Chains A and B, each alone.
Chain A
Amino acid sequence: MWTFLHKLASPPHFFSYAKGLIPWFAWPGYALLIYGSFAGLFLAPMDYQQKDAYRIIYLHVPAAYLSMMAYVIMAVAGGIGLIWRMKLAHAVAASAAPIGASFTFLALATGSIWGRPMWGTWWEWGDPRLMSELILLFLYIGYMALRGAIDDTAKADKASAVLALVGAVNIPVIHFSVEWWSSLHQGPTLVRAGGPAMDTSMLYPLLAMILGATLVFVSLLLRRVRSEVLQREQRTRWVKALVLSPKGGR
Chain B
Amino acid sequence: MNGAAGQLPGLLVCLRATLQRELLLVLRRPGDMLNPLFFFAMVCTLFPLAMGPSEEQLAFAAPGVLWVAALLAMLLSLNSLFLSDHADGSLEQLLASPQPLVVLALGKTVAHWLTSGLPLVLLSPALAMAFRLPAGTIWVLMSALTLGTVSLSLLGSVGAALTVGLHRGTALLSLLILPLAMPVLIFGARTVSLSAAGDTYSMGLFALAAYAVGALSLAPFATAAALRISNE
| Direct touch of chains A and B (CB < 8 A) | yes
Chain A stretch 126-185: residues in CB contact (< 8 A) with chain B = 135, 138-139, 141-142, 145-146, 149-150, 152, 154-155, 158-159, 162-163, 165-167, 169-170, 173-174, 176-178, 180-181, 184
Q: Are A162 and B162 in contact (CB under 8 A)?
A: yes
User: What size tier do the contact residues of chain A reach?
Assistant: 20 to 34
Write the nearest CB–CB distance from A130 to chain B, whole angstroms.
Answer: 14
A-B contacts at CB below 8 angstroms, number: 83
Write the nearest CB–CB distance from A156 to chain B, whole angstroms.
Answer: 9
Interface centre among A154, A158, A159, A163 (most CB of B within 10 A): A159
Write the nearest CB–CB distance from A125 to chain B, whole angstroms.
Answer: 12
Contacts of A181 in B (CB 8 A): 186, 190
Contacts of B214 in A (CB 8 A): 173
Q: In the bound complex, what is the Cα–Cα distance between A208 and B195 (angstroms)?
A: 48
Q: In the bound complex, what is the Cα–Cα distance between A233 and B167 (angstroms)?
A: 27
Q: Are B187 and A177 in contact (CB under 8 A)?
A: yes
Task: Name the one of B179, B186, B190 contacting A138, with C-beta atoms under 8 angstroms.
Answer: B179
Q: Are B183 and A173 in contact (CB under 8 A)?
A: yes
Q: Are A146 and B162 in contact (CB under 8 A)?
A: yes
Write the nearest CB–CB distance from A134 to chain B, whole angstroms.
Answer: 9
Task: Name the one of A139, A149, A166, A167 contacting B163, with C-beta atoms under 8 angstroms.
Answer: A149
* Interface residues of B, Cβ cutoff 8 Å to A: 155, 158, 162-163, 166-169, 172, 175-176, 178-180, 182-183, 186-187, 190, 194, 203-204, 207, 211, 214, 218, 222, 225-226, 229-230, 232
7 A-B pairs with CB atoms under 8 Å apart are A149-B169, A159-B226, A162-B226, A163-B176, A173-B211, A174-B180, A181-B190
